Amino acid sequence: MKKLLGGIVAFAAIQSATAYAGPADADLWIGFENSENGFLLDEATGETWMTGVCLKKLSAARQSGHVWTTQTVELVSVGRAMAQLDQTFRLDVNVNAPSVSVRSAGRGGEQSFPAVIDRDCGPSGTCGRLIQTQQACQG
């Protein structure tokens, strides 16, 4: 009975590990030219990671045409106080005019910036290099 239970637990662990989408599953990076600031996106699942100083997992993005939308709500330190930061990111992956838009609740309107897209998530592309080198954010 112990062997059967151990086998079931091991199988469940393997299944949960394969069901988890990680940055290595990203199909593209959209971000800013000459910068590591941007987003890795897995188009099959919508899983999204922000790149830059570190790799930050965001909520799964929803797709509408060429635009993927993800939102993050978190507490951030502002001096000695904490404040809620609510941001919505719109990633327009239209190859003719890619852009990243940011809307922060309570901080004015949406800001949009021209972006670049890299679909080379292998070792030679920006996408692949970021997958290999970005360390997960702490906290």
Cα angle 51-31-69, degrees, rounded to a multiple of 5? 85
* Res 70 pLDDT > 50: yes
Residue listed under structure tokens 């922000």: 50
On whether the CB atoms of residues 39 and 130 are closer than 8 A, the answer is no
| Residue 52 one-letter amino acid | G
Mean pLDDT of the chain: 85
Q: Which SS3 state, helix, strand or coil, does residue 11 take?
A: helix
Above pLDDT 70, what percent of the chain? 84
* Res. 2: pLDDT tops 90: no
Q: Which pTM does this prediction carry?
A: 0.80
Confidence check: pLDDT of 17 > 70:
no
The CB density around residue 46, as the number of other CB atoms within 10 Å, is 17
What band does 107 get if pLDDT is binned at 50, 70 and 90? confident
Domain borders along the chain are: 22-133
Q: How confident is the model at residue 125 (pLDDT cuts 50, 70, 90)?
A: very high
H helix runs in the chain, sequence order: 2-19, 126-133
* pLDDT attached to residue 21: 61
Using alpha carbons, select from 72, 66, 75 the residue that is nearest to residue 95.
66
Q: Which of 6, 45, 53 is nearest to 23 (CA)?
A: 45
